[in-house]
């Protein structure tokens, strides 16, 4: 029997609520399906009875048109709009436990409250022509849709979702060329990694951990799993049908990961080590290849993630060279 089937696991839907400026939880990673075929994008563009539409995974649709008054509840969408030069279309943004890039500019924007439970009356009073929610706002966005507002959820299961939503946000704001140029640049950086891996595979394995007691990790059907695939390393938590499996101490010891990335519940490498004594006995623990990935990069579904991933790749490449 494959060792990956020798430990107990179950799927836990990751739902974060109550995020607030002073100490709430970060934005949530959407529950992922068991498989993500290439055409199964989080945002899709399609023809409708009234013209072209953009539809999210929850079925919320907005006309493909130029929007100039956008309330943006998703921090990743805020960052994306700034990256493509469409910040003049932003009416208001949420508060969170971490600032939204670019901090010196977003700090001056009106706030609609915390991103899990924004102030609905304030949003309505701003008279937006588009509302971009996040994965904690499913019911809220559905309610806005029923009330006749153009409202859509911004999320991602993999990097391709981030690239695709960036292009579509460019079309929604009249910044299509800027969006295309941005994504072309990011894709080129990933292509460099792909070519390097063809000549020299890293031969490393590890996992993205998000919780302790028990230790839980992201499988291949999540954005984290896609990141590890892009980096050319094996995800020891890639279990078919399980979005966030439990990693038992016996399994972790048997797999002997080369690296471990902590996020969400982990603040320091020491937190990862303290989550179970066996981690110190793995190669990742012995060599202290344990890194903390800020949720402001990892869960914001923003193209800004690419540069952080390049940093991780360079570090992994140096470790691989020493093996």
pLDDT of residue 182: 98
Q: Which domain holds residue 226?
A: 200-292
What pLDDT, in 10s, does the model give residues 270-285?
A: 999 999 999 999 999 9
pLDDT of residue 27: 38
Report the alpha-carbon distance of residue 273 to residue 62 in Å, rounded.
46
Give the max Cα distance, the chain. Answer: 61
Query: How many domains does one find in the chain?
Result: 2
Report the alpha-carbon distance of residue 226 to residue 51 in Å, rounded.
33
Do 93 and 155 fall within a single domain?
A: yes
pLDDT of residue 97: 78
pLDDT of residue 142: 96
Query: Which residues are 70's β-sheet partners?
Result: 90, 130
Do 244 and 175 fall within a single domain?
A: no
Contact 221, 35 (CB under 8 A): yes
What pLDDT, in 10s, does the model give residues 8-20?
A: 332 333 323 333 3
* Selection from 246, 243, 255, 242 nearest residue 206 by Cα: 255
Q: Which of 187, 214, 246 is where one domain is finished?
A: 187
pLDDT of residue 243: 63
* Selection from 191, 173, 82, 182 nearest residue 129 by Cα: 173
Residue 44 pLDDT greater than 70, yes or no = yes
Report the alpha-carbon distance of residue 19 to residue 41 in Å, rounded.
27
What pLDDT, in 10s, does the model give residues 110-160?
A: 999 998 899 999 999 999 999 999 999 999 999 999 999 999 999 999 999
Backbone angles phi, psi at 42, to 5 degrees: -70, -40
Distance between the two ends of the chain, CA-based, in angstroms?
29
pLDDT of residue 221: 87
Report the alpha-carbon distance of residue 205 to residue 259 in Å, rounded.
7
Residue 49 pLDDT greater than 70, yes or no = yes
Residue with tokens 């971009």: 132
Do 170 and 68 fall within a single domain?
A: yes
Residue 35 pLDDT greater than 70, yes or no = no
Average pLDDT, the chain: 87
Q: What is the pTM of this model?
A: 0.83
Do 181 and 276 fall within a single domain?
A: no
Do 279 and 164 fall within a single domain?
A: no
- Is there a domain that residue 34 lies in? no
């Amino acid at each position: 029997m494959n060792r990956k089937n020798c430990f107990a696991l179950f799927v836990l839907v990751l739902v974060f609520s109550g995020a607030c400026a002073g100490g709430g939880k970060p934005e949530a990673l959407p529950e992922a399906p068991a498989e993500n075929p290439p055409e199964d994008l989080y945002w899709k563009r399609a023809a409708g009875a009234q013209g072209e539409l953009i539809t999210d995974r929850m079925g919320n649709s907005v006309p493909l048109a130029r929007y100039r008054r956008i309330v943006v509840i998703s921090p990743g969408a805020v960052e994306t709009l700034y990256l493509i030069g469409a910040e003049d279309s932003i009416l208001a943004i949420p508060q969170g436990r971490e600032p939204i890039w670019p901090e010196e500019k977003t700090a001056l924007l009106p706030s609609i409250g915390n991103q899990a439970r924004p102030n609905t009356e304030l949003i309505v009073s701003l008279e937006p022509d588009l509302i971009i929610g996040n994965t904690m706002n499913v019911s809220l966005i559905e309610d806005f849709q029923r009330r006749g507002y153009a409202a859509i959820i911004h999320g991602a299961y993999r990097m391709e979702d981030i690239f695709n939503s960036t292009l579509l946000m460019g079309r929604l704001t009249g910044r299509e060329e800027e969006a295309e140029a941005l994504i072309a640049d990011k894709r080129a950086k990933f292509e460099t990694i792909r070519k390097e891996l063809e000549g020299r595979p890293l031969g490393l394995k590890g996992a993205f951990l998000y919780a302790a007691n028990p230790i839980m990790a992201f499988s291949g059907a999540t954005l984290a799993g896609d990141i590890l695939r892009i980096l050319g390393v094996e995800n020891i938590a890639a279990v078919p049908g399980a979005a966030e499996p439990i990693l038992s101490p016996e399994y972790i010891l048997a797999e002997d990961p080369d690296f471990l990335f902590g996020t969400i519940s982990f603040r320091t490498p020491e937190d990862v080590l303290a989550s179970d004594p066996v981690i110190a006995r793995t190669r990742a623990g012995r060599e202290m290849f344990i890194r903390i990935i800020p949720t402001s990069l990892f869960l914001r579904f923003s193209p800004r993630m690419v540069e952080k991933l390049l940093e991780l790749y360079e570090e992994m490449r140096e470790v691989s060279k020493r093996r």
